[in-house]
Each structure stands twice: as C-alpha cells, then as structure tokens.
Structure 1
C-alpha cells in the first residue's frame, strides 16, 4: 500500500485549454497499468480543446456545474455527483459554464504508447456560446 498525501497543482497547458484550468494528477500510467486519472478544475468560461480518446474517457463531476459537448452538437449540463462516459474516438470537449466553475475527475485508459488522447483545435467562442444557450445558460 502507498499513501500519497498530495500532488502539486499545475496550470493546464494553454495549447490544449481555453481559460484558466488547473490539474492535480491522481494516477499516471506506470506499466503494466494504463490508467491516467486527474482532478481537473475549470474556472468560469474555461474549457478543453476538442479532443478524443482511443479507449474513451470517464468524467466524474466533483464540484460546480459544467458542460460536455460533442461534434454533432449534443451538449449535456453536468453537476456534482454525475458521471459522463465519452466513448472511444468521440470528439468532445468539457468545461465550466460562463458563470460557474466545474471540477471533475478525468479517467482515461491508455495503451502502450501513452494515454491515447488526440488533441485538436480550440472550441470557438461561438461554439461555446451556442452550447451555453442550448442549456438555458446566458
């Protein structure tokens, strides 16, 4: 057994996120395991770029209110206690609303080459505004 008392908070890289996003790694893949797990905190208006995962992703919302959107325009409003599963290969994004923060635990099962995440272009302000309005926000 190993007790890990804390992990340092890091600012998420600007080339993959819009706005202020903070990460605390919970588990980094160490072979033979392939689980990557992090606590991710989004300030109001902050969000990921479009991205996909070779083996899918599970998001467990721990605090606040946020949005998860897919390329086909499907958007769900999420809040603390809810879990969203994004299937393998599905291009999606997630983040806070324009007025609330959102925190989630992001879980990804990677492969021998890494976590299997493919990072794409930023979610535009127009796409984000449309997602907010589709959920009755702003």
Structure 2
C-alpha cells in the first residue's frame, strides 16, 4: 500500500495518494504513515490538514513536516519553535540541511532585533556545510 501511495505521488495523483494513505492509517496507524499522509496533504496544498495530524508529534521528520505546514500557513513563530524548541536548546534541527534551510527562510520573515540579518545567513551556511549541493541555500545567501 505504501508503494501505491508513493507511486501516486510520483504520478502527481495527490488525491489518490491521500485516499490510499487514509485507508492505510485506518488499518495500520503508525507515525511514519501519518508522515506520509501529511506529505500527501502538503503536495495537495492542504497544509492545514497536515498541521492538524502532525501537531504534538516528536519524531524529527514529523517536526520538519509540521514546521513546513506552519510556514505555508504563515505561522512563522510556531514553525520556528518546532524547529528550535526554546525549552530544549540542545535538540538538533530536524531533517539536516533542509531543516536549516527552512529555518533560514523563516528567520528572513521574522524580525529578531539587531541579529535579524545574521541569523538567516548562519542557517543557510549550516545547510550548505551539511549538503554542499543545496542550491537553494546558495541562492538565499546571494539574496
């Protein structure tokens, strides 16, 4: 069933992927299947649906997808808090380079006092140190 969902996503049949994934979760509710459904929702431009099924999840991939849905809904502070929890400062940013890239983009839209221009660049630089082929981070540094 998971292969069918991935195939539907590859073929841009997002509604079919959502339907199949909802059936999958009804039978086998696991966090990885919830992540797959959230991915389907995000592909189908339904970040609010992804937001609601991912809220409160703790696995790194779930946190990244939740932050992505927050970003798409313009809930920037919640997206930032998800990627960098204030109460857990030693927690790593989820999804490696792409997580740091997303955090940098979020920082571009949030005003953080005098450090506003430096925090995005630090995140994009960190993203590039983890994945030198992340072209989007190069573009953001140029901007």
Q: Same fold (TM over 0.5)?
A: no
* Larger fraction in strand: 1
Query: Structure 1 length normalisation: TM-score?
Result: 0.30
Tell which has more relative contact order, 1 or 2 (C-alpha 8 A, sep 6+): 1
* Larger fraction in helix: 2
Compare CA radii of gyration and give the structure with the larger one.
Answer: 2
Query: Structure 2 length normalisation: TM-score?
Result: 0.29
